[in-house]
């Protein structure tokens, strides 16, 4: 049976008996200047504007059921392939009583590491999905795994024998080991006083590393000694700052908000390129010239950081206007580089680099989040979020795997490094961002009314009177 799109396309083919009368332009090509002589289809007898376009990705608005179907497919895959299960070594029998954890207890291996920074984003995505839908299984995914990991970490401290499954819970050597995991852990703690009581000691361990032990420049900016001494990685905005801001929300201590704003300001002063509205990936203190490569996911980490901070930063904080304005500047730059397929490129300003899923998902989430929170205007940015989500759906396969995600990526000083990074459904970086994007699109559907007006996606406020989606209509208040 033909889909609606296939049917409309077949109608267009039948009508266009003379090829020149109705030609789909190639990407980047100009539309045909005129229809062929003697064509049966013309401006007088056919509404040319209503003929179906041959989009490379789905075009239109997404229903809640369609969005949730994609997200649930991902959940089912992840729940099976990132198990929250411990057993005795060389045994398949699950240990459900955490008081029985001992030196022989091991974390059952899955396809993904439960303590990685990537999985911190996945935990946050599940929490957001649970919050939007009210469906407990999504929230429980995160809560269950944090309880298990916390129990293993507690035993490791008490026994003095570190369980390999939670090694980074005991000892941290970089922001990657703790920041993202900590931010989502604080969100989990804030759900319930019992969660906070159980998780607070581990949260304190992570925050102590971020605030007091992480390498910094002389002015306090998070830094690394790779690939060069005193290197700034844009990624480290997300690896450290959201956890600090969340700690401010958890404790009410203003010093954490001050630190979060200071970090954003100092990364921005060095790494934001105003004429493009994008951040560079790396900055080297000892070099007068910095590697200006606008890597997609790094820019994703930066904009996600600002969204996370704006979520919890008090509006009366003196740094709030700066963070909000910088968020808007960055979003404006990001949206200007969205491709016609809805994706963003691996190197954002280089359209011959490949289309990448994880950065597309992060940008889609942040745009939708910004609209839902009132930081961004729905008319200008709603369609970009919808186009991004439509693109993402083409990368979630039937198993629930997220395809087209760039693997872990260091800092480089040449374009080839970025252009030829591998993509894989096993790259953990894609799952959390897609969960965040889809859940926030569900929220956007509740706060606004997306419709097709004269074939184009438009967003309306609920109090606006509109016509039937798919037609051509005027709007009244």
Report how far residue 308's alpha carbon sits from residue 433's, in angstroms, rounded to the nearest whole number. Answer: 13
Q: In terms of pTM, does the model score above 0.85? A: yes
Residue in 422, 389, 405, 358 with CA at minimum distance from that of residue 71: 389
pLDDT at position 18 is 36
- pLDDT by position in tens, the chain (length 477): 444 444 344 434 333 333 333 444 444 444 444 433 446 888 899 988 888 899 999 999 999 999 999 999 999 999 999 999 999 998 889 999 999 999 999 999 999 999 999 999 999 999 999 999 999 999 999 999 999 999 999 999 999 999 999 999 999 999 999 999 999 999 999 999 999 999 999 999 999 999 999 999 999 999 999 999 999 999 999 999 999 999 999 999 999 999 999 999 999 999 999 999 999 999 999 999 988 999 999 999 999 999 999 999 999 999 999 999 999 999 999 999 999 999 999 999 999 999 999 999 999 999 999 999 999 999 999 999 999 999 999 999 999 999 999 999 999 999 999 999 999 999 999 999 999 999 999 999 999 999 999 999 999 999 999 988 878 899 998
Rounded Cα distance between 273 and 281, Å, is 11
Q: What is the pLDDT of residue 267?
A: 98
Angle at 45 between CA 40 and CA 49, to 5 degrees: 105
Written as six digits, the tokens of 424 are: 């894989």
Confidence at residue 205, expressed as pLDDT on a 0 to 100 scale:
98
Domain boundaries, the chain: 4-50, 64-460
Query: CATH classification of 64-460 is 1.50.10.10, yes or no?
Result: yes
- The pLDDT value recorded for residue 188 is 98
H or E stretch covering 449: strand 449-453
DSSP string, 147-183: HHHHHHHHHHHHHS---GGGHHHH--SSGGGTHHHHH
């Amino acid at each position: 049976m033909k889909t609606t799109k296939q049917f409309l396309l077949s109608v267009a083919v039948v009508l266009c008996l003379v090829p020149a009368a109705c030609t789909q332009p190639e990407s980047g090509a100009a539309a045909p200047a005129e229809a062929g002589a003697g064509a049966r289809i013309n401006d007088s007898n056919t509404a040319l504007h209503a003929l179906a376009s041959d989009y490379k990705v789905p075009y239109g608005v997404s229903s809640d059921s369609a969005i949730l179907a994609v997200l649930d497919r991902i959940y089912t895959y992840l729940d099976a392939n990132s198990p929250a299960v411990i057993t005795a070594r060389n045994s398949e029998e699950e240990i459900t009583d955490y008081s029985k954890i001992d030196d022989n207890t091991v974390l059952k291996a899955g396809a993904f590491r439960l303590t990685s920074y990537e999985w911190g984003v996945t935990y946050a995505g599940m929490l957001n999905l649970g919050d939007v839908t009210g469906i407990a299984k999504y929230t429980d995914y995160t809560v269950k795994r944090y309880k298990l990991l916390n129990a293993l970490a507690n035993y490791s401290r008490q026994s003095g024998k570190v369980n390999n499954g939670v090694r980074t819970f005991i000892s941290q050597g970089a922001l990657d080991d703790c920041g993202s995991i900590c931010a989502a852990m604080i969100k989990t703690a804030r759900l319930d006083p019992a969660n906070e009581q159980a998780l607070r000691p581990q949260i304190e361990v992570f925050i102590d590393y971020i605030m007091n032990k992480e390498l910094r420049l002389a002015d306090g900016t998070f830094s690394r000694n790779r690939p060069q001494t005193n290197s700034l990685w844009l990624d480290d905005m997300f690896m450290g700052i959201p956890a600090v801001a969340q700690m401010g929300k958890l404790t009410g201590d203003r010093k954490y908000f001050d630190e979060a704003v200071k970090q954003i300001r100092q990364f921005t002063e060095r790494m934001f390129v105003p004429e493009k509205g994008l951040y560079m990936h790396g900055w080297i203190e000892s070099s007068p010239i910095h590697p200006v490569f606008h890597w997609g996911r790094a820019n994703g980490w930066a904009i996600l950081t600002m969204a996370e901070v704006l979520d919890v930063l008090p509006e009366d904080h003196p740094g709030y206007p700066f963070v909000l304005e910088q968020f808007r500047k960055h979003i404006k730059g990001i949206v200007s580089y969205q491709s016609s397929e809805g994706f963003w490129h691996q190197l954002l300003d280089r359209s011959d680099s490949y289309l990448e899923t994880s950065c597309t998902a992060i940008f889609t989430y942040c745009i939708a989040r910004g609209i839902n929170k009132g930081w961004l205007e729905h008319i200008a940015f709603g369609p970009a979020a919808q186009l991004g989500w439509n693109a993402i759906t083409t990368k979630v396969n039937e198993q629930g795997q997220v395809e087209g995600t760039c693997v872990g990526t260091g800092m480089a000083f040449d374009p080839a490094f970025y252009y030829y990074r591998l993509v894989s459904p096993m790259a953990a970086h894609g799952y959390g961002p897609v969960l965040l994007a889809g859940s926030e699109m569900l929220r956007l559907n509740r706060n606004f009314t997306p419709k097709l007006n004269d074939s184009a996606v438009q967003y309306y406020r609920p109090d606006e009177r509109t016509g039937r989606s798919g037609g051509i209509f005027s709007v009244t208040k």
